[in-house]
Amino acid sequence: MSESQQIKVVDAFDLDDELRSLLKPGEMVRDAQGRRKRLPRYFYEIPTHDSAKQIRLAPHFGLNEFILVDLKEAQRLQQFPRYIPCAVRLLAFFLEQFRSAAGASVHVAVNGGYRSPSHKMSGSASSHMWGTAADIYRIGSNIVKTKELIDKYNDLAEELSDDVTILPYGHDTGTSVDDHVHIDLGYVTVIPREISEDRMEVPQESRPRFAFEERRRRDRRAAQTAAAAAENK
């Protein structure tokens, strides 16, 4: 097993000043209805572009697919190591189910995965800032920009679970969509089991708070055991 498949989890309060000011861990933002939401605090740290491509969050979804951004994202957040809220794995799981239901490959748009609170498209709280929403612009060979296709795939997405919400077809940015399907799990934050939570919402310079996510599936554990055995030879 290559080292890059070990995903490092960090407490964003321990990142440097610039990163903290851009990721805003634990800060409150209001949604379009004025309800307050607390931004995520625990992030996967992705060291390189190669590791982003190698790390699979679900059988058909690599981590790299959720960090596609353009110049609308803060410049520092376009550089590696990059950070993405740990809840993105749940999103990948639902997209995998969605892919099965659609019977075709599912493509996340640029700026359609994680968008930091400093991203130019981040206004009021949106699930993209939690890593729990994806904008799908193409399914199989279909570019999703007609009412017929958006209605069809919205129905499929909503049938997956009551936890999934979508935006209806329409031309009002923010409340409807006309060139993608917005699949949304809501404001879900994940505290990885390997992390020890700290009630201090300040940097802990003397004591870095991070962990490496353990492989849970049996095949991955087996690979890890084999790698460890090889190292010990």
Of 210, 221, 201, 209, which is closest to residue 20 (Cα–Cα)?
201
Amino acid, res. 76: R
Binding region for Zn ion (CB under 5 A) out of 11-19, 56-64, 136-144, 182-190 = 182-190
Q: Is the CB of 82 or the CB of 182 nearer to Zn ion?
A: 182
Question: Cβ of residue 177: shortest distance to Zn ion, in angstroms?
Answer: 7
Cα-based angle 189, 83, 187 (whole degrees, multiple of 5): 20
Q: Is the CB of 9 or the CB of 167 nearer to Zn ion?
A: 167
Binding region for Zn ion (CB under 5 A) out of 1-9, 19-27, 116-124, 128-136 = 128-136
Contacts 24+ apart (CB under 8 A), 158-164: 159/101, 160/94, 160/97, 160/98, 160/101, 161/94, 161/97, 163/94, 164/94
Q: How far apart are the first and last CA of the chain?
A: 15
Reading the block at residue 160, the tokens are 């997956």
Question: Cβ of residue 210: shortest distance to Zn ion, in angstroms?
Answer: 29
Question: Cβ of residue 185: shortest distance to Zn ion, in angstroms?
Answer: 12
SS3 label, residue 132: coil
Q: Is the CB of 37 or the CB of 209 nearer to Zn ion?
A: 37
Question: Cβ of residue 133: shortest distance to Zn ion, in angstroms?
Answer: 5
Binding region for Zn ion (CB under 5 A) out of 3-11, 63-71, 83-91, 134-142 = 134-142
Question: Cβ of residue 184: shortest distance to Zn ion, in angstroms?
Answer: 7
C-beta separation of 27 from 38 below 8 A: yes
Reading the block at residue 212, the tokens are 């490496």
Binding region for Zn ion (CB under 5 A) out of 13-21, 84-92, 99-107, 133-141 = 133-141
Question: Cβ of residue 219: shortest distance to Zn ion, in angstroms?
Answer: 33
Q: Is the CB of 115 or the CB of 209 nearer to Zn ion?
A: 115
Q: Is the CB of 23 or the CB of 129 nearer to Zn ion?
A: 129
Does 182 help bind Zn ion (rule: CB under 5 A)? yes
HEC profile of 175-221: CEECCCEEEECCCCCCCCCCCCCCCCCCCCCCCCCEEECCCCCHHHH
C-beta separation of 187 from 125 below 8 A: yes
Q: Is the CB of 4 or the CB of 142 nearer to Zn ion?
A: 142
Residues sharing a CB contact under 8 Å with residue 66, sequence separation 6 or more, in sequence order: 57, 84, 88, 91, 92, 108, 113, 114, 131, 134
Q: Is the CB of 133 or the CB of 188 nearer to Zn ion?
A: 133
Residue nearest to Zn ion (CB): 182
Does 135 help bind Zn ion (rule: CB under 5 A)? yes
Question: Cβ of residue 135: shortest distance to Zn ion, in angstroms?
Answer: 4
Residues lying near Zn ion in the complex (CB under 5 A):
133, 135, 182
